Chains A and B, each alone.
Chain A
Amino acid sequence: QQQVKQSPQSLIVQKGGISIINCAYENTAFDYFPWYQQFPGKGPALLIAIRPDVSEKKEGRFTISFNKSAKQFSLHIMDSQPGDSATYFCAASHFGNEKLTFGTGTRLTIIP
C-alpha cells in the first residue's frame, strides 16, 4: 500500500531531447507528489511537486503529468541539458504526514 514504483532505473537522452520518468502508486490516500533531484555528493533537492486537483504542473522545462484514475504521475524534462544529468526520485505522501514514500530513483544521463 505504501510503495511507489519508479521506472526506468536509468535513462540516457540526447541533448535537446525529452526525458520522461514514470511513477505509479497504490495508496489512494496520497495527495502530494514531489520530485527530487540529486547530484552526486549532494542531498536530494525538491524540483517540482503536484497535488491531485490538477493534471499537470509546469515549471520552466520541467512538467509533472498526473493521472489520478491510473494512479500514475510522470516527470517530463523538455530540451534536456547535460546539467540535468542527475538521479531523480519521485515521492508521495498524505499532506501533513511526514512520511514521504520514495521511488527507487532514475539515473538520468544527458549526452551531447
Chain B
Amino acid sequence: ETGVTQTPRHLVMGMTNKKSLKCEQHLGHNAMYWYKQSAKKPLELMFVYNFKEQTENNSVPSRFSPECPNSSHLFLHLHTLQPEDSALYLCASSQVAGITEAFFGQGTRLTVV
C-alpha cells in the first residue's frame, strides 16, 4: 500500500447522477492531485492542490468539481457526466507539489452509462 486510499474502487453512474470520489493520504504530504487515466492515452493531470490551495486546473470541464478540505483529504464531485468520462481516476500526493515523488492511490474505475 502506498498510503493513498481511494474510495470507491468502482463506480457506475448515470449521466444525470451526482456522485463523489474520495481520496485520503496518510503520508503527511501537502500536495494532492487528481489524474484521469483512459485506455491508450497518457495520464492526464486534472487538478493540483498545494497546502489546500488549488494551484492547477488543467482545463477540466466544470462537471468535475474538486474539493480539498485539508491536506489529507481530496474529493472529486461529479455531476451530469458523459460516457466519454468513463476512465480510471487516480489520486496522488507528494510532500510538496512538483518537488518530490508523487505516490498514487489504486484509483476509482468510473463507468458512466
Contacts and interface: CB of A to CB of B under 8 A. Distances in A.
A79 B43 CA distance: 28
Interface of B: 2, 4, 31, 33, 40-43, 45, 48, 50, 55-56, 58, 90, 92, 94, 97-99, 101-107
Contacts, number: 58
Contacts of A103: 42
A101 B42 contact: yes
Nearest to B92: A43
Given A97-B98, A98-B56, A43 B50 contact: no
Contacts of A105: 40, 42
A43 B107 contact: yes
Given A103-B42, A104-B40, A98 B98 contact: yes
A89 B103 CA distance: 14
Nearest to A103: B42
Contacts of B104: 43-45
A10 to B, nearest CB: 11
Interface residues of A, number: 24
Nearest to A41: B106
Given A9-B40, A104-B41, 17 more contacts: A4-B42, A43-B92, A43-B105, A46-B101, A46-B102, A46-B103, A89-B42, A93-B98, A95-B99, A97-B98, A98-B50, A98-B98, A99-B58, A102-B42, A103-B42, A105-B40, A105-B42
Kindly name the residue among A96, A100, A101, A104 whose own CB sees the greatest number of chain B CB atoms within 10 A.
A100
A61 interface: no
Given A42-B106, A43-B106, A98 B97 contact: yes
A32 to B, nearest CB: 9
Contacts of A102: 42-43
B68 to A, nearest CB: 14
B56 to A, nearest CB: 6
Top 8 nearest A-B pairs (CB, nearest first) are A43-B104, A98-B98, A102-B42, A98-B97, A102-B43, A98-B48, A96-B98, A44-B104
